[in-house]
């Protein structure tokens, strides 16, 4: 699967483990898990592979987040992304990391 980062700080987190953006600072354990999940996505042939790890809780979102899919980093954070098919290959675009507690407010 191809992964593109919609925001610069998401790419920095993946590559460097930190970001210059002061609004997007996360605990090292969150960053490490984020990097691990992105690496798994890069190795996966399609989003169906995300279902093979139940801990990711892969799901297509509904409501005001319709059109996005997500996987969980932990109980508080998740990676939201859009899915596209290009020449039969799934492309996931990482969009933003949200706090789940804010999602339900």
- What does each C-alpha distance from 95 to 8, 31, 44, 52 come to in angstroms? 10, 15, 18, 22
pTM of the entire predicted model: 0.85
- CB-based contacts of 63, cutoff 8 Å, min separation 6: none
Half-sphere exposure of 77 (CA within 13 A, CB side): 15
Pairing of strands 2-5, 77-86: unpaired
Q: What are the pLDDT tens digits along the chain (105 aa)?
A: 888 888 888 899 999 999 898 888 888 999 999 999 999 999 988 888 999 999 999 999 999 889 889 999 988 889 988 888 777 777 777 776 665 333 443
């Amino acid at each position: 699967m191809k992964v593109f980062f919609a925001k610069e700080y998401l790419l920095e987190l993946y590559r460097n483990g930190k970001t210059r953006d002061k609004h997007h600072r996360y605990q090292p354990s969150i960053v490490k898990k984020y990097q691990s999940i992105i690496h798994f996505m890069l190795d996966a042939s399609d989003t169906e592979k995300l279902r093979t790890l139940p801990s990711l809780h892969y799901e297509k979102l509904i409501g005001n987040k319709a059109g996005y899919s997500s996987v969980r980093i932990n109980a508080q954070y998740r990676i939201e992304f859009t899915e596209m098919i290009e020449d039969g290959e799934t492309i996931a675009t990482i969009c933003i990391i949200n706090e789940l507690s804010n999602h339900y407010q």
